[in-house]
Chains A and B, each alone.
Chain A
Amino acid sequence: MEGDTTARADLGAAGRGAGRGEPLLRVEGLAKHFPVMAGFPVRRRVGAVRAVDGVDLTVHAGEVFGLVGESGCGKSTTGRMIARLTEPTAGTITYRGLDITRLGRRRLRPVRSEIQMVFQDPYSSLNPRQTVGTIVGGPMEVNGIDPPGGRGRRVRELLETVGLSPDHVNRFPHEFSGGQRQRIGIARALALNPRLIVADEPVSALDVSVQAQVVNLLREVQRDLGVAFVFIAHDLAVVRHFSQRVAVMYLGRIVEVGDRDSVYSRPRHPYTHALLSAVPEPVARDGAGPGPDGEGGGGSVRERIRLAGDVPSPADPPSGCRFRTRCWKARERCAAETPPLVRLEGDAEGHLTACHFPEEPTTAARGGDVVLDPAPTTEPHPGTSP
């Protein structure tokens, strides 16, 4: 087992892709099935919502691992299982070589202080009856940590780290804005000097203007303190800004995972293509058709994909590939065989895709838009004309 100092020095030096040896966190076959109970007078189990159904991922020390996907795809549940807030149905979670999947509260304690969590809702994640000092100092009290100079001093330091005035210790959460509250939540997560922070949509409840500040704060924390992150979000731009590696989830499974640039600029899974095409572009279109470099990638005009219908119910997911009900490339094989998460030919190392019929590794506009939505497209677009 590597020592504290070496681990931290490691990441400081190497930056992206640091410490590719022993991963900090390894998750294998993680699943969570929520039982569905019904019946009268005796309620019995009639089915299960497969919120997470076989997720494998690894997080290295000091790395930011982004987890994206639409609502209900199981990304939050995955994060909660990593933080051991939700009991997994199956699978293993290994933290620094130690299987923590089934550890009880007492035996989990040393690990607990190293895996912390930042929550989504800054209004519900702080106890309204406690002062900021109590909230931030609480984790130290629980774990009996007495930092040099006392807990009070450490709390003040932490508040300064997250950009709040140390004089705020005796204030109550309701006196702060959403962004400030999220900073308090981050200070609380940092109180135990964690090595891994699970951030469950930490900015999605905030104003857009404040989001950037909080993400930048998380980035500073990650850089200066070498904390690894599992960063859960549905905002692809935020994930791109903050993460080194990204996993795309769909209906309880990871469909594509890889280094950020690889996933964002050379996506292979149709769902990743669809997600990326849905990100609004800050650049105004100049009305040009698909350029000569349209196929090669890097063109200013991107592909347009519109998906039809809703995500199928996780209580009754489709057989084989889960995306096949909304995929424009789906064939019989997709229903019969579940595609494995593998490295496809021509992809970078560590870029894995679960698809039988992957797309070309580009996000540039294709010959015609993929429009599965039965709703008519109102505005004709230059890209549509063949």
Chain B
Amino acid sequence: MSSPTEAAASVPSPLPPAPSPPPPPGPVTGRSPGRLMRRRFRRDRTGVVSACVVVLFFAVGLLAPVISWLYGKDPYTLYGQEQPGLLDPFGFPAGPLGGVSGEHWFGLEPGLGRDVFMQLVYGIRTSLLIALAVTVATTLTAIAVGVTAGYLGGRTDYWLGRLMDFLLGFPSQLFFVAFMPVVVALFVDPREETPTWIRVTALVLVLWFLGWTGLGRLLRGQVLALREREFVEAAKVSGASPWRIVRKELLPNLVTPVLVQFTYMLPGVVTAQAGLSYLGVGLVEPTPDWGRMFATAGEVYENDPAYLFFPGTAMVVFVVCFNLLGDSLRDAFDPRTGR
């Protein structure tokens, strides 16, 4: 049997053998983990698109005053009542699709006649702000409690576990409704007017209080499983402190569940907070709020269905994109994903 080289040599070639390409200069060095992660993420088109949409939502929330200035309207002015002709005699916006026009892009609110676009932009601002605060606080608490319980084990684990069971046993929606006024009353005398920031704080506190338990339990279980792995023991043998083991050995392995839960939790908090506003225990008028727009839309949907359309679509797009982003980030963070 002739090898390929022999076969090639037997054929007379008019050309001199082509010089082999020079080896790449320098030693071959691998890419750093961070760069690999970014590379994997950029190859995931769904992830990149979702990330753009999510960033857009946050940008809208952050830049709401700028948008308001460019757009020339604000969320508080009652345009429909100031300018005759925008609302019909029954208080519903005149014109197609809830009064969509070049002047009011998303139409007008029935009754009061405020600008829907501005309401939505400022509503996204408050909702995302609250949701972000709640989710970050919740995740940090869950990591602290879950890792402590899982790593220390024994009595600590037992009591933290019972605490989590206890809080998980609460009916959360009822708790939110019942405790919002209580928490608000802790800060302000009920006879005085409640400042908005106190309502926001109360909302964050109430949602945080019951929110962290699920993730806390999940992380406890993960740490329990990781703690028995031999790489943790190898770190112990090298003399690593518990803090270092948690930081360098455990937390990097918890990135995936934390990230996935974070991206499920944030839209969840947005909707939960919207639900509270819908029930009337969240933010009150005149603070613009995404959730309360649904409450208003629910009252008027028979006569003005278009009012539900814009906040609803925005919410669906946001939730879907955020979840997709979570999936893509998880894949990108996992070095085993072969992309």
Residues of A within 8 A of B (CB): 83-85, 105, 108-109, 112-113, 115-117, 119-121, 124-131, 135, 138-139, 142-143, 167-172, 174, 185, 188, 191-192
Contacts and interface: CB of A to CB of B under 8 A. Distances in A.
Given A127-B253, A170-B30, A170-B31, A142 B231 contact: no
Interface of B: 27-33, 229-231, 233-241, 244, 248-249, 252-253, 255, 335-336
A143 B27 CA distance: 29
Given A167-B28, A172-B335, A174-B336, A125 B237 contact: no
Contacts of B241: 105
A24 B29 CA distance: 40
A119 B234 contact: yes
A314 to B, nearest CB: 20
25 contacts: A84-B237, A105-B239, A108-B239, A109-B239, A113-B239, A116-B238, A117-B234, A119-B233, A119-B234, A125-B234, A126-B231, A127-B252, A127-B253, A128-B335, A129-B252, A131-B33, A135-B231, A139-B238, A142-B235, A142-B244, A143-B238, A169-B30, A172-B335, A174-B336, A188-B234
Contacts of B239: 105, 108-109, 112-113, 139, 142-143
Contacts of B30: 131, 167-171
Contacts of A84: 237
A120 B234 CA distance: 11
A124 to B, nearest CB: 5
Nearest to B27: A167
Contacts of A167: 27-30
Contact of A121 (B28, B230, B248): B230
Contact of A83 (B33, B237, B249): B237
A124 B252 contact: no
Contact of B238 (A125, A138, A169): A138
Contacts of A124: 229-231
Q: Which of B33, B231, B235 has the most CB of A within 10 A?
A: B231
Given A119-B230, A121-B230, A129 B335 contact: yes
B238 A142 contact: yes
A142 B236 CA distance: 10
Contacts of A143: 238-239
Contact of A138 (B29, B248, B252): B248
